[in-house]
Structure 1
Amino acid sequence: MSVNRRKVLKGAAAATALIAAPAIVRAEDTIKLGSILDTSGIFDLYGKPMDKAVDMAIDEINSDGGIAGRMVEKIAYDTQSDMALYTQFGQRLARQDKVDVVHGGILSASREAIRPTLRKNKVLYFYNVQYEGGVCDRNIFCTGITPAQQAEVLVPAAIEKWGKKVYVLAADYNYGQITAKWIQHYAKQAGGEVVQVDFFPLDVADFGSTITKIQDTNPDSIMSVLVGGAHLSFYRQWAAAGMNKKIPMASTTMGAGNEHVVLTKEEGDGIMLAYSFSKELETPANQAFLERWTERYGATDDVHELAVATYQGVHLWAEGARKAGSVARDDVIAALEAGAAFDGPTGRISIDPKTHHATFDVHLIEVKDQKMAVQETFLQRPPVDTQTVCNLEENPNDTTQYEIDI
């Protein structure tokens, strides 16, 4: 079951009248959607647009009649980029607010802080963020892009364009370590090789010695898996050293939070990316989405991959509930496993029943003039990384976060 474009546009037109209204609707018989995000603190660059996306999706759902005639109410908490607050607010949403579903979490640590509580209390959970893959839990749906969905597109394209020797720079935690392994895997498949992998703590901001080391190694390209504000310094220092004119770069992370807009075009131009979303994707669904966002918020400057994944995650949950005719956890799970889908800004998104991860289009992108220019589209990429460790059809009681061995 999917939303056709006419239905989306009709709902969007009705939603225009609600632009000035809050997403929260108060009524005794509302459906309660819990939102738990960092809308302040060091991760608010990601969290604030994600929060806006939740509001917009809820208003569109309500303007189109809600779910079985019931309106959706948002109950939101700002975790202030504090992992302890995720635990506190996750428990409150489940036990006191008694929400029907939770959308939220940004870092994997925040997901793992609330996932056991929501599962124990039988509250359905949607994690709408790019992450390292490997979560196997029937109570959760993961709608963000995972390493293999990106790397299987990005690595061969970079090797074909620039050469076989790849130098990897990665953040030193689960996401960076696992993604680096996938890059090595796909480089080998493409006839290339990773000549060096360097890991960096999230607070490292001085890359001078690393740039010298790269110069000495002289790879054909750089693959960046750097994360966060401190690591953004690398791109500036790389350009300041004139290296962006000598050794090209691809990245699995740059641009997910609109970092390409923070960098100047001199610093960012030419970087190759692969994501499910780009504002420059020229499809009617994407253009209509951006128009609605502009009408509601005044501009699209803050729209990014994680915000769009959140918007689509909320709509996908609603489609599952509509197909089920119920917001009961088991009913929605069964509907999503049976093929409920949503046609959104990135194209069609649906759920792989074995992993509860999303299948969607992935776009090969080049940064040009602070924009993400789409070069090629790869249709309906499955979550092949998590498929190697997770089969919820055979093992529905599995609740493991696997570290995928590649």
Structure 2
Amino acid sequence: MTKLSRRNFLYTTGAAAAATLASPLVARAGTDTIKVGGLHDLSGALDSTGVPMNQVFQLAIKEINDAGGLLGKQVEAVIYDPQSNMSLYSQYATQLALKDKVDVVMGGITSASRETIRPIFHRYNTFYFYNTQYEGGVCDRNEITLGTTPAQTVKRVIPYAMNLYGKKVYTVAADYNYGHITAAWVKRYVEENGGEVIATEFFPLDVAQFGSTISKIQGAKPDFVLSAMVGTSHLGFYRQWAAAGMKSQIPIVSTVYGAGGTEQVILTHEESDGIIASFGYFEAIDNPTNKAFLEKVAQEYPDKKWVMSEISEVTYEGMKIWADAVKEAGSTKRDALLEVLTSGKTYDMPAGKVKIDPKTQHAVRDVYIATCKDGAFAINETFPDSQPEDTQMVCDLIKDPKSNTQYEISL
């Protein structure tokens, strides 16, 4: 596989399309269609993650329409590019709710973007699906959360890595709420398993030089590095780590690497091989639904320069699960859909079995640990029906359906 620079990746995967969205590309639909909002970063710091999410979002809509649409109508996408800019996220979320009057929104990547748009959708009763792995704690009846949380992934990968490598851990993480809360969970799970986090460092999303940190890690001599780095700039850590000759000395375990689907394309095999990660989806999942899904993606996007990841697959799940609920409820109204979604129904998805926990409206799903080799992840272990236990500690939407907050879980 030819490795790409970030610039070439963006050009070949949709930078031209994203450029047309600098001014929003809004589907001007009439009453004869059902409108769904897409709010993914098609340009900006997280475009390498947002472009694949948007493409799979549109694939799901195409499949729904090819199967006859919903309630006798075709589904039409209203797509905005927030450009990794929180002001634009706020602006476009308001437009989706008030001007476009969409029935549901799929969108947001970082927790910062989610916490910008989630209160807007809650205020205007616009149903919202957040399809990204995150730090846990959101309790909002207006949101369905399908991505994994630390209790589903970090809880699994920490003891796995400690059994392989040892008990001294050095954490590097993104400097916003996802990185901070995930680092706290890492510390908790390391200590629960008899280990020690010897240092934790946080980095803004635009930082790309890590020489001084690599020197600190060399001096600290941990058994492994736990990375919760996010975005294209942070890929510089892995590249510089390999260039410093550290891959053969101290292994890396990550809660994020591979989640966006482009990391293994942008980095060389020499830079990425050996990284261990845990997610709710990897391409290597061996089931008929996943095989058929990957064939459809390859047919629809034969020139794609990304690997299917949890964030993109879960975006596909979001549209398909929402559409299934619309069919069963005979309505696009949120409360009618929630009756279906929280009824205990299990969905057969490419990632495996998925159902919605009625207490938190988070996904109960299969979780996997895998190792990167030759640009692809090979699955090592599977954990069926993993519960979002962290969010279950603080959220009970059955008892408090008016809840509208993100709890910071006490660790």
Q: If the length of structure 1 is used for normalisation, what is the TM-score?
A: 0.91
CA–CA distance in structure 2, aligned partners of residues 110 and 218 of structure 1:
36
CA–CA distance in structure 2, aligned partners of residues 340 and 332 of structure 1:
12
CA RMSD of superposed structures (Å): 1.7
Moved more, 63-72 or 158-167: 63-72
CA contact (8 A) 1:144 1:358 kept: yes
Match of 1:305 among 289, 310, 313: 310
- Look up the equivalent residue of 1:394 and give its one-letter code: K
CA contact (8 A) 2:45 2:231 kept: no
1:156 matched to 2:188? The reply is no
Match of 2:280 among 255, 276, 282: 276
CA drift of 1:204 comes to 2.3
- Look up the equivalent residue of 1:364 and give its one-letter code: I
- Look up the equivalent residue of 1:349 and give its one-letter code: V
Tell me, what secondary structure is at the counterpart of 2:138? Answer: coil
- What residue ranges of structure 1 are gaps of 5+ in the alignment? 1-23
Moved more, 357-366 or 103-112: 103-112
1:261 matched to 2:265? The reply is yes
CA drift of 1:205 comes to 2.2
CA–CA distance in structure 2, aligned partners of residues 383 and 234 of structure 1:
30
Given the superposition, is the C-alpha separation of residues 314 and 25 from structure 1 closer, same or farther in structure 2, using an over 3 Å criterion?
A: farther
CA–CA distance in structure 2, aligned partners of residues 351 and 186 of structure 1:
25
CA contact (8 A) 1:261 1:371 kept: no
CA contact (8 A) 1:359 1:380 kept: yes
CA–CA distance in structure 1, aligned partners of residues 295 and 256 of structure 2:
26
> Residue by residue, what CA displacement relative to the aligned partner does 1:119-139 show, whole Å, maximum 9, x if unpaired?
122111111112111111000
1:240 matched to 2:240? The reply is no
CA–CA distance in structure 1, aligned partners of residues 211 and 30 of structure 2:
58
- The answer for the alignment partner of 1:377 in structure 2 is 382
- The answer for the alignment partner of 1:390 in structure 2 is 395
- The answer for the alignment partner of 1:224 in structure 2 is 227
Tell me, what secondary structure is at the counterpart of 1:73? Answer: strand
1:290 matched to 2:288? The reply is no
- The answer for the alignment partner of 1:208 in structure 2 is 211
> Residue by residue, what CA displacement relative to the aligned partner does 1:274-295 show, whole Å, maximum 9, x if unpaired?
0111122222211111100011
CA drift of 1:70 comes to 2.7
1:105 matched to 2:108? The reply is yes
Moved more, 324-333 or 109-118: 109-118
CA drift of 1:38 comes to 1.4
CA–CA distance in structure 1, aligned partners of residues 47 and 376 of structure 2:
22
- The answer for the alignment partner of 2:11 in structure 1 is none
CA–CA distance in structure 2, aligned partners of residues 301 and 190 of structure 1:
39
- The answer for the alignment partner of 2:366 in structure 1 is 361
CA–CA distance in structure 2, aligned partners of residues 340 and 107 of structure 1:
28
CA contact (8 A) 2:46 2:232 kept: no
CA–CA distance in structure 1, aligned partners of residues 90 and 244 of structure 2:
43
- The answer for the alignment partner of 1:62 in structure 2 is 65
Tell me, what secondary structure is at the counterpart of 1:136? Answer: strand
Tell me, what secondary structure is at the counterpart of 1:148? Answer: coil
CA–CA distance in structure 2, aligned partners of residues 113 and 401 of structure 1:
12
Identity, % of aligned positions = 50
CA–CA distance in structure 1, aligned partners of residues 303 and 313 of structure 2:
15
CA contact (8 A) 2:273 2:372 kept: yes
- What residue ranges of structure 2 are gaps of 5+ in the alignment? 1-26
- Look up the equivalent residue of 2:34 and give its one-letter code: I
- Look up the equivalent residue of 1:219 and give its one-letter code: P
CA contact (8 A) 1:293 1:299 kept: no
CA contact (8 A) 2:110 2:178 kept: no
CA contact (8 A) 1:187 1:194 kept: yes
CA drift of 1:27 comes to 5.7
> Residue by residue, what CA displacement relative to the aligned partner does 1:2-29 show, whole Å, maximum 9, x if unpaired?
xxxxxxxxxxxxxxxxxxxxxx796633
> Residue by residue, what CA displacement relative to the aligned partner does 1:246-271 show, whole Å, maximum 9, x if unpaired?
11110001111231222111111111
- Moved segments of 4+, more than 4 Å: 24-27
CA drift of 1:245 comes to 0.2
1:325 matched to 2:292? The reply is no
- The answer for the alignment partner of 1:17 in structure 2 is none
Tell me, what secondary structure is at the counterpart of 1:385? Answer: helix
Moved more, 351-360 or 182-191: 182-191
Tell me, what secondary structure is at the counterpart of 2:80? Answer: strand
- Look up the equivalent residue of 1:295 and give its one-letter code: Q
Match of 2:182 among 161, 179, 182: 179
CA drift of 1:187 comes to 1.3
- Look up the equivalent residue of 2:104 and give its one-letter code: V
> Residue by residue, what CA displacement relative to the aligned partner does 1:344-364 show, whole Å, maximum 9, x if unpaired?
111122111111111111111
Given the superposition, is the C-alpha separation of residues 270 and 90 from structure 1 closer, same or farther in structure 2, using an over 3 Å criterion?
A: same
Count matched residues.
384
Q: If the length of structure 2 is used for normalisation, what is the TM-score?
A: 0.90
CA–CA distance in structure 1, aligned partners of residues 382 and 193 of structure 2:
19
- Look up the equivalent residue of 1:273 and give its one-letter code: A
CA drift of 1:305 comes to 2.2
- Look up the equivalent residue of 1:122 and give its one-letter code: N
